[in-house]
């Protein structure tokens, strides 16, 4: 068995981020997702399976 991978996804609620999140969850990765929710997509989002924080990465103090 492979060790669990920890992954940080920025923009995790956008189109690419949602699809990447789904793929990595299927591979049993430990996910941490950041998004400012300015342009987000609820489709395919599984919040209970990943650690989500609403932050804007431009503001370093929020991370």
Rounded CA separation 9/28 (Å): 15
Question: Is residue 8 included in any domain, yes or no?
Answer: yes
Question: Is residue 62 included in any domain, yes or no?
Answer: no
Question: Is residue 33 included in any domain, yes or no?
Answer: yes
Domain extent, residue 24, equals: 1-42
3 state SS of 55:
coil
| pLDDT value of position 60 | 77
Q: Is the pLDDT of residue 1 over 60?
A: no
Question: Is residue 55 included in any domain, yes or no?
Answer: no
| pLDDT value of position 42 | 58
**Number of structural domains the chain divides into:** 1
Q: Supply the pTM of this predicted model.
A: 0.78
pLDDT tens-digit map of 41-57: 655 566 677 898 989 98
Question: Is residue 47 included in any domain, yes or no?
Answer: no
| Helix-, strand-, coil-residue percentages of the chain, each rounded to 5 | 30, 25, 50
Cβ neighbours around 54 below 10 Å, total:
12
Cα 11 to chain center, whole Å? 7
pLDDT tens-digit map of 10-44: 998 888 988 898 899 899 899 999 998 888 765 55
Name the token pair of 15. 């189109």
Question: Is residue 20 included in any domain, yes or no?
Answer: yes
Question: Is residue 19 included in any domain, yes or no?
Answer: yes
Question: Is residue 57 included in any domain, yes or no?
Answer: no
| pLDDT value of position 47 | 62
């Amino acid at each position: 068995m492979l060790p669990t991978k920890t992954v940080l996804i920025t923009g995790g609620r956008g189109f690419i981020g949602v699809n990447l999140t789904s793929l990595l969850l299927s591979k049993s990765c430990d996910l941490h997702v950041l998004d400012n929710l300015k342009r987000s997509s609820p489709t395919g989002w599984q919040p209970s399976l990943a650690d989500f924080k609403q932050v804007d990465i431009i503001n370093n103090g929020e991370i």
